[in-house]
Amino acid sequence: MFADRANIIIRSGKGGDGHVSFRRELYVPNGGPDGGDGGRGGDVIFVVDEGMNTLSDYRHRRKYKAGDGQEGGRRRCHGADGADIVLKVPPGTVVKEKESGKVILDMSNKKEPVVLLKGGRGGKGNQHYATPTMQAPKYAQPGGTAQEVEVTLELKVIADVGLVGFPNVGKSTFLSRVTNANPKIANYHFTTLQPNLGVVDLDNGKGFVIADIPGIIEGASEGIGLGFEFLRHIERTKVMIHMVDGASVEGRDPIEDIYAITDELKKYNQEILDRPQVIAANKMDAMTEQDKETVIELLKEEFEPKGIKVFPISAVSGEGIKELLWHVQELLASLPEGATEFEQEYELSFEEEEGGIIIEHPEDGIFTVEGPKVERMLGYTNLESEKGFRFFQRFMKENGVIEQLTEMGIQEGDTVRVYDLEFDYYQ
171 assigned to a ligand binding site: yes
Burial 320-353 (b: 16+ CB within 10 A, else e): bbeebbebbbebbeeeeeebbebeeebeeeeeee
101 assigned to a ligand binding site: no
282 assigned to a ligand binding site: yes
66 assigned to a ligand binding site: no
314 assigned to a ligand binding site: yes
DSSP 262-291: HHHHHHH-GGGGGS-EEEEEE-GGGS-HHH
Q: Angle at Cα 121 formed by Cα 115 and Cα 126, nearest 5°?
A: 170
174 assigned to a ligand binding site: no
203 assigned to a ligand binding site: no
111 assigned to a ligand binding site: no
108 assigned to a ligand binding site: no
Q: How would you classify residue 142: left for phi > 0, otherwise alpha for psi between -120 and 50, otherwise beta?
A: beta
4 assigned to a ligand binding site: no
165 assigned to a ligand binding site: yes
214 assigned to a ligand binding site: yes
212 assigned to a ligand binding site: yes
Straight-line distance from the first to the last Cα atom of the chain, in angstroms, rounded to the nearest whole number: 65
**Dihedral over alpha carbons 96, 101, 103, 105 (to 10 degrees):** 0
183 assigned to a ligand binding site: no
Q: Provide the pairing of β-strand 148-155 with 5-11.
A: antiparallel
170 assigned to a ligand binding site: yes
208 assigned to a ligand binding site: no
Strand partners, 201: 207
In contact, 303 and 279? CB cutoff 8 Å: yes
Q: Using CA atoms, how far apart are residues 69 and 50, in angstroms rounded to an integer?
A: 31
Q: Angle at Cα 65 formed by Cα 60 and Cα 70, nearest 5°?
A: 150
53 assigned to a ligand binding site: no
336 assigned to a ligand binding site: no
* Half-sphere exposure at residue 307, Cβ-oriented, CA atoms within 13 angstroms: 7
Per the annotation, binding residues for Mg(2+) are 172, 192
Per the annotation, binding residues for GTP are 165-172, 190-194, 212-215, 282-285, 314-316
Per the annotation, binding residues are 165-172, 190-194, 212-215, 282-285, 314-316
